[in-house]
Amino acid sequence: MKISRLFDRFFTGIAPEAAYARACHLLERGEHARGFAMLGQMARDGMPQAQFRVAQAYLDGTGTPLSVSEGARWLQHAAEAGHAQSCFTLGVLMLLDIPCADDPAAAVLPGANGPGAAPARDPVTATRWVGRAAEEGMVEAQALYGYLLANGPEEVRDGAAAQHWSSMAAGAGCAQGYLGLGLARLETDAAAAMTALRHAAQEGLGSACYVLGMLHESGRGGEVDLVAAARMYAIAAEQDIRPACARYGMALLRGRGVARDIMRAETWLRRAGLRGDLEAALVVGDLHARGLAEMASDHEAVSWYRRAAMGGHADGCRMMALMCMAGRGIPAPDPHAAAHWLRQAAACGDDAALTDLAAILSRNAEPPAPDDDARAGTEQRALADGFAHAARNGDPVGAFNYAKCLLDGFGRTPDPAQAARWMHEAARAGVVNAQYWYGRMLLRGQGIPADPATARQWIDDAARSGMADAQVAAAQMRITGLGGPRDHAGALSLYHLAARQDHVDAMFSLGAMYGGGHDVPPDRQQAQQWFEKAAGRDNALAQLMMGRYLGRGLAGVTDIAAARAWLHRAQAQGVTQAGEELARLPPDPVGAEGMHAAR
């Protein structure tokens, strides 16, 4: 054995305090193994401060392999002996989620999860240990104890005691104490809370800056001050306070209290999202999906939406479903994946997702596996049962969905009479879709005697609410005089409203109305513009009309090549008149047809 080792053992045996100082000195100058060996002997002999340093060594992996469970074991020995720092550290350890199985040693703390496990997270027991450290006069413990008494588990909360301990820590100049005092006073005296929080913020405490920012933004404790709020969020965000990163990002995105800067907004929202803020992740996804991000990408949008969805955010699940249905950010549209994400959205509390899921399943957009028909049928019945339950409990949206199930035979035997009953219930409650569908059922006499006049009233109600399909239906009834007087001017106005919502049939109808033959002044140039918009969205009749207009020069412009291209597209969709129009066109110069494209 080396002389230095013998000296260490001799020193430990005759002068424990001096030996402890020597061991700490060895650790500080990098002789970790020697320092740890000396501390280990003193810890086994029952010296609390040595037990604490041994625990630190295990927790840091200094002079010995890292071991949370061994660190916790020695912390508990020292804490039970009244060592304040050990009480505090053990309490903090029990507030955290520590990964298990860090070493092969057996855990000895109550509630531990087996060999190598860290102490189980236990905020109640943690509060008690921190309280013991606070009673020993440890300022940091007093600050944390005050916070836990104000915001911890219900069984340890004590508002008066929280203010007492936070005041003790604040009186000692502890920034965390001022933070705790501010938080403890928030519900009873917002102005006093702000005063305490300002002290903590002046010491550079990011959490205090974040809470101050929220108070400035909401006006609690004073007036709304968006500039001060943004400034506080910025300081807290620079210290990596996750919710502050999100709020500062939103302030930059909206230009609230700070100049609008989408690029910087994305940077801070991305940082918050990467640290687990689901709402921030969703907003980053939106920025990419809407093309507002600096390097917008549907692939990036899907990545961020998936992050929010996997964290249980209902809107993230819904956006994943929309991206999957549209085939954005993925190789191709995937209704099966869309249905999966809608199920997840419903599980996260988005009741409206069930409606969308039912629509996908009823359109057979989610093809079942060859041996999966029974599962699909079971799922449809379960959805219909859920809608029926909601309808019977007075939910008007549930009544509409249940009516659609009964009308379409989705998870139920078709029953138009019952469908009409529930559709009427939903329509009377103001569900716009139900007003439109009940009007259609009255027009057709589905499950209820036909009544065009009443049908027109219900469809008009839905049209006034802004539903494009209802606006088109109401316009058509005015043109034909079904259920009421003819009103071509009113129809034209309704078609314009629907066309602004990109309703293709409305665009075609506007072209037809402006083309002549209606009680509105003809305007063939405007007619051609509307036909072109509808044709570009694959409306076959609009493509036919574009062929006629360009082939005959009806709006003042003749373009035979473009006319021929539009007519070929209409013909490919089964419009027989397109062939007749093609036959009337003059012969096309050799090769010219391949050199022109429909506009």
pLDDT digits 0-9 by tens, 467-500: 999 999 999 999 999 999 999 999 999 999 999 9
> What is the phi-psi region of residue 98: left when phi exceeds 0, alpha when psi lies from -120 to 50, beta otherwise?
beta
> pLDDT averaged over the chain?
83
Q: Please name the residue that has the structure tokens 């103001």.
A: 430
pLDDT, residue 361, reads 63
Q: Give the mean pLDDT of 244-250.
A: 95
- SS3 for 208? helix
Q: Please name the residue that has the structure tokens 């920025």.
A: 287
pLDDT digits 0-9 by tens, 141-170: 887 888 888 778 888 888 888 878 877 877
- SS3 for 262? helix
Structure tokens at 578: 């397109």
Asked whether residue 498 is domain-assigned, the answer is no
d(CA 169, CA 176): 8
pLDDT digits 0-9 by tens, 36-93: 888 888 888 889 988 888 888 888 887 788 888 888 899 999 999 999 988 988 888 8
- On the question of pLDDT at 320 being above 90, the answer is yes
d(CA 329, CA 288): 10
Confidence of residue 360 (pLDDT cuts 50, 70, 90): low
pLDDT, residue 596, reads 43
Q: Give the mean pLDDT of 19-26.
A: 81
pLDDT, residue 480, reads 93
pLDDT, residue 264, reads 95
Structure tokens at 131: 């309280």
Domain that includes residue 119, residue range: 1-136
- On the question of pLDDT at 326 being above 50, the answer is yes
pLDDT digits 0-9 by tens, 423-473: 999 999 998 889 999 999 999 999 999 999 999 999 999 999 999 999 999
Asked if 530 contacts 540 with a C-beta cutoff of 8 angstroms, the reply is: no
- On the question of pLDDT at 370 being above 50, the answer is no
Asked if 596 contacts 561 with a C-beta cutoff of 8 angstroms, the reply is: yes
Give the chain's domain count. 1
Asked whether residue 74 is domain-assigned, the answer is yes
Q: Bigger pLDDT: 25 or 184?
A: 25
Confidence of residue 376 (pLDDT cuts 50, 70, 90): low
Confidence of residue 582 (pLDDT cuts 50, 70, 90): very high
pLDDT digits 0-9 by tens, 258-292: 999 999 999 999 999 998 999 999 999 999 998 88
pLDDT, residue 368, reads 44
Tell me the pTM.
0.52
- SS3 for 182? helix
Q: How many helices (H) and strands (E) does the chain have?
A: 32, 0
Angle subtended at Cα 105 by Cα 120 and Cα 24, rounded to the nearest 5 degrees: 95
pLDDT, residue 378, reads 66
pLDDT, residue 225, reads 92
Nearest Cα residue to 245 out of 237, 255, 256, 253: 237
Q: Which helix (H) or strand (E) holds 179?
A: helix 175-185
pLDDT, residue 397, reads 79
pLDDT, residue 102, reads 38
Asked if 487 contacts 517 with a C-beta cutoff of 8 angstroms, the reply is: no
Asked whether residue 232 is domain-assigned, the answer is no
Q: Bigger pLDDT: 570 or 347?
A: 570
Asked if 414 contacts 425 with a C-beta cutoff of 8 angstroms, the reply is: no
Q: Which helix (H) or strand (E) holds 7?
A: helix 3-14
The Cα-based distances of 74 to 69, 83, 179 in angstroms read 9, 11, 31
pLDDT digits 0-9 by tens, 401-430: 889 889 888 778 899 999 999 999 999 999
pLDDT digits 0-9 by tens, 98-156: 444 333 333 333 333 333 445 567 888 988 998 898 888 888 788 788 888 877 888 88
Asked whether residue 390 is domain-assigned, the answer is no
Indicate the DSSP class of residue 99: -
pLDDT, residue 37, reads 84
Nearest Cα residue to 55 out of 36, 31, 27: 36
Confidence of residue 553 (pLDDT cuts 50, 70, 90): very high
Q: Give the mean pLDDT of 212-220.
A: 86
Asked whether residue 501 is domain-assigned, the answer is no
pLDDT, residue 433, reads 87
The Cα-based distances of 447 to 237, 239, 390, 398, 438 in angstroms read 61, 65, 22, 19, 10
Spatial neighbors of 453 by CB under 8 A, at least 6 apart, are: 483, 484
CATH assignment of the domain containing 132:
1.25.40.10
Task: Calculate what percentage of the chain has a pLDDT beyond 90.
Answer: 40
d(CA 257, CA 219): 13
Q: Give the mean pLDDT of 229-245.
A: 92
pLDDT, residue 307, reads 95
Confidence of residue 359 (pLDDT cuts 50, 70, 90): low
> What is the phi-psi region of residue 129: left when phi exceeds 0, alpha when psi lies from -120 to 50, beta otherwise?
alpha
Reported in sequence order, the residue ranges of 323-404 that DSSP labels E, i.e. its strands, are none
Asked whether residue 22 is domain-assigned, the answer is yes
Determine which of 3-7, 35-39, 317-321, 583-587 has the lowest per-residue pLDDT on average.
Answer: 3-7
Q: Give the mean pLDDT of 562-573.
A: 94
Dihedral of CA atoms 270, 271, 277, 283 in degrees, nearest 10, equals: -20
Tell me the HSE value of 492 on the side-chain side, using a 13 A CA sphere: 19
- On the question of pLDDT at 191 being above 50, the answer is yes
Asked whether residue 50 is domain-assigned, the answer is yes
Asked whether residue 14 is domain-assigned, the answer is yes
Nearest Cα residue to 537 out of 560, 568, 558, 506: 506
- On the question of pLDDT at 394 being above 60, the answer is yes
d(CA 201, CA 220): 17
SS3 content of the chain, % helix, strand, coil (to 5): 70, 0, 30
The Cα-based distances of 536 to 44, 415, 532, 533, 597 in angstroms read 84, 39, 6, 5, 12
